Amino acid sequence: STPRVPVMPPSCPPCAATRVPMGPLSLLLALSVLSPWGSAGGSCPPRCVCASNLLSCSQANLSAVPAPLPRFTAVLDLSHNNVTRLRADWAPARLPHLHALLLSHNGLAFVSTEAFTHVPRLRHLDLSSNRLRTLDENLFSDLGELEVLLLYNNEISTVDRTAFENLGRLRKLYLGQNRIARFPLELLREGTRLPQLALLDLSANRLRAVPAGELQALPAWLRDRLYLHNNPLACDCLLFQLLDRGRRRHLSAVEDFQDELRCFLPGASALIKILDLAGKQPLNCSKAREAVLEAHLGDTVTLGCDSRWQGVRSRHWVTPGGERVLGDGGNGSASLLANGSLELRALRPEDAGTYSCWVAGPLLNETLYVELLVHNFTLHGPHDTLNTAYTTLVGCILSVVLVLIYLYLTPCRCCCCRGAEKPPAPRDDSINSSVLSTTPNHAGGTGEPCGSRIPSGAGTGQNGRFKGGGTPQLPPRQGPKAQRKVSDPDSVSSVFSDTPIVV
C-alpha cells in the first residue's frame, strides 16, 4: 500500500507567514533610517541639495540662512543668494564639523562680530564678491583654525588692527579688488598675529605708498608672495629695487605681473612700469646688488656697503626687523662704522636675515642687500651632539677597516724564511704528509727570501689551488687504476714513499 501524503488546505498557502509586503512608504522609511539626512540626523532644508555631509543651497534665491542646519554638516554652500546680513543667530546650534562656509555673491553688507561663535572648526571662509566695507574689531577672532580667508571683490576701505586676532593658522589672505588705502603691514612684521601667513593679496586697491622698510621686514616666505600689482603706488627707487630683486629671483608675484606693477611720478599724466625705472630720469634708479655671508653664534661680523659711487650724500642700514641703524643699535650689538659698514657683535639666532644698505649718491640711489646666515652652533665651542656622532661614526669605520686588513691583508710573518716551511697540504693529500716531524725541507737553501722560493714555472695545484713547488702534475694514467697523486717536494719530512699505494 502507498503511504498517503497529507495535503495542506487551500486556506493556508505555503510560506504565507514569511511574506512581508514592501510598499513605497516602507522603502522610504528604510532609506531615511540609512541616510544621514533621516529623522535621526536632521532633515535637508528646502531648496537645498544634500549629499552625505555636504549641503548646497547655491542659487536658491534665499534671503536668510536656512534653519535648522544638521549638526554633521561639513560643507555649507550659500553662494549666489540674497543673504545681505549674517547675524549672530544664523547658526543657533553649534556646528562642530563645519569646515567650509561659502557666502560669495550675496550682496553681504554686514557680518556680526559673533557670527562665527558656533563654527570654531572653520578652515575655509569665502566672503568674496559682496559689499563689505569694513573689517571690524575682532571680526574673525573665533576662527582659531581658519586657513584660507577670501575677501576679494568687496568695498573694504578700513581694516582694523585687531580684525585678524587669534588667526594663528591662517595661510592665505585675499584682499584684492577693494578700496584699501593703507594696510597695517606692521601686524605682519611682528609675527604674532599671523605667524603662518604665506600669501597676501593686496592687488587692485588704492595703495599709494608701501614703505620699503616694512616690506623688507616681512618674513621671506611672505615677502615673496605679496601681490601689489594694480595699485597707484608712488615711484620710489627703494620699491623698484625690491621688485627688481624679486624679478631676478623669478618670484611669481613680480614675474607674472610685470605689466600691472605701475607707479606714478609727480607731474606725470600716466602711470609707468615700476621695473622700467632703472637708469631713467628723474629718479635714475640703479639695480640692487646682493651678497651672502655665513657666521656662527657669538661671532663678530662686518657687513660691507661698498657702493661704487663717490661723494655719497647719505647712507644707512635697515635690519631684518625693519629698524634703521644710524649709530649704535637698539640692543648695543649693531653699530655703523665710519666707512659705512655695519658691525654686528655677539651674533644671536634672531640676527639672521637680509640686511639692506641704502645709499643716496649724486646721480643714482643704490641698495645693497647682504643675507646673513647664522649657524646655530659656535665656531670654536664644544659641538657636543655633532662631535659625538661624528667621532662614533669615524671610530666604527676605522674598526671595520682594521678588521678587514687583519683578515685579508696580513703581510708575510717573516722577511727571511727559515727553511722550507710549507702550509698544510690539501685534505686529500694528508696521507702523504707527516704530522710527526717538523724538520725543515732539505731541498731548499737557507736564508732565501720567501719570494725567491717560487720558481718561474709555478702553476696551479690540485683542486685549483696555487702550487708553489713548481712540480708539474703528471697526466692521468690509463686503466682502471686511480690517478697517481704526486707528492709535494716542499712538504715537511715525509714518512712515506712517493710511490703510489697499491691496495
How far, CA to CA in Å, does 366 sit from each of 216, 254, 315?
Answer: 15, 20, 10
SS3 356: strand
335 lies in some domain: yes
In this prediction, residue 145 carries a pLDDT of 95
Could you tell me whether strands 342-344 and 353-360 are parallel, antiparallel, or unpaired per DSSP bridges? unpaired
In this prediction, residue 15 carries a pLDDT of 38
Tell me which residue has cell 694514467: 477
> What is the Cα–Cα distance from 120 to 84, expressed in whole angstroms?
22
In this prediction, residue 312 carries a pLDDT of 65
SS3 125: strand
298 lies in some domain: yes
330 lies in some domain: yes
Report CA 167 to chain centroid distance, whole Å.
22
Domain range spanning residue 357? 293-375
Instruction: Say what the pTM is.
Output: 0.59
Tell me which residue has cell 622698510: 213
> What is the Cα–Cα distance from 244 to 273, expressed in whole angstroms?
12
255 touches 227 (CB < 8 A): no
Q: Which amino acid is at 467?
A: K
In this prediction, residue 304 carries a pLDDT of 82
CATH number at residue 307: 2.60.40.10
315 lies in some domain: yes
> What is the Cα–Cα distance from 55 to 44, expressed in whole angstroms?
8
Query: Who's near 292: CB < 8 A, 6+ residues apart?
Result: 370, 371, 373
Tell me which residue has cell 576679494: 152
> What is the Cα–Cα distance from 211 to 234, expressed in whole angstroms?
10
Query: Who's near 431: CB < 8 A, 6+ residues apart?
Result: 496, 501
483 lies in some domain: no
Residuewise pLDDT in 10s, the chain (503 residues): 445 544 444 444 443 443 434 443 343 333 333 444 443 346 888 889 998 899 999 999 999 999 888 888 999 999 999 999 999 989 888 899 999 999 999 999 999 999 999 999 999 999 999 999 999 888 999 999 999 999 999 999 999 888 888 899 999 999 999 999 988 887 776 556 788 899 999 999 999 988 776 777 777 778 788 999 999 999 888 888 888 888 888 888 999 999 999 998 887 788 899 988 887 777 778 776 777 888 888 888 888 876 655 556 677 788 877 777 865 544 567 888 877 788 888 888 888 888 888 777 655 566 778 888 888 765 544 444 455 667 788 888 989 888 888 888 766 555 555 554 555 544 444 444 433 344 444 444 444 444 444 444 444 444 444 444 444 454 444 444 444 444 444 443 333 444 444 43
198 touches 172 (CB < 8 A): yes
> What is the Cα–Cα distance from 142 to 151, expressed in whole angstroms?
17
> What is the Cα–Cα distance from 246 to 249, expressed in whole angstroms?
5
Which cell numbers hold the place of 498? 712517493
Number of domains making up the chain: 1
CA angle 234, 239, 243 (to 5 degrees): 125
> What is the Cα–Cα distance from 254 to 274, expressed in whole angstroms?
11
Give 203: exposed, middle or buried? Use CB within 10 Å, 0-12, 13-18, 19+: buried
Q: Is the peptide bond before 423 cis (omega within 30 degrees of 0)?
A: no
299 lies in some domain: yes
* Other residues' Cβ atoms within 10 Å of the Cβ of residue 154: 24
Report CA 198 to chain centroid distance, whole Å.
13
Q: Is the peptide bond before 282 cis (omega within 30 degrees of 0)?
A: yes
218 lies in some domain: no
> What is the Cα–Cα distance from 317 to 305, expressed in whole angstroms?
9
First CA to last CA distance, the chain: 96
380 lies in some domain: no
In this prediction, residue 319 carries a pLDDT of 82
Tell me which residue has cell 543651497: 57
In this prediction, residue 190 carries a pLDDT of 58
* Other residues' Cβ atoms within 10 Å of the Cβ of residue 357: 25
